[in-house]
Amino acid sequence: MEKLDYRELIQKILKEHQKHRTVNASSEAQVICDLENDHYLLVHVGWQDETPLYGCSIHVDIKEGKFWIHQDFTEDGVAAELLEMGVPKTDIVLAFRSPFMRQFTEFAV
């Protein structure tokens, strides 16, 4: 079986979420991909009236051949999307959980 292209998968997920993440006409969702260091983010920037908007809803790194999910404010979860795409649980780390608590998840520690 051919190894999945993890960079391609996470970019596809981020771009799909970007389509559905506009707060208002004065803001936008941006996909940020650092391919050299394998950092992938979906951030929101803009304005709401006179208040600046900024937030990171998804932050995933690829380290040592595994997805490290640092931030995930999606409804179904990036981990679930990766599983649906064929990524094994052993290649997904819920980095937003403490190292101690990761052993109690179904995913990599």
Q: Domain range for residue 85?
A: 6-102
Q: Is residue 47 included in any domain, yes or no?
A: yes
Q: Is residue 107 included in any domain, yes or no?
A: no
pLDDT class of 25 with cuts at 50, 70, 90: confident
Least confident of 8-12, 20-24, 30-34, 72-76: 20-24
Please list the residues that pair with 29 across neighbouring strands: 44
Q: What is the mean pLDDT of the chain?
A: 94
Q: What is the DSSP letter of 86?
A: T
pTM above 0.85, yes or no: yes
Number of domains in the chain: 1
- CA gap 40, 77 in Å, rounded: 15
Tokens at 92, concatenated = 């997904």
Q: Is residue 64 included in any domain, yes or no?
A: yes
Dihedral sign, Cα of residue 37, residue 85, residue 17, residue 95: negative
pLDDT at 63 over 80: yes
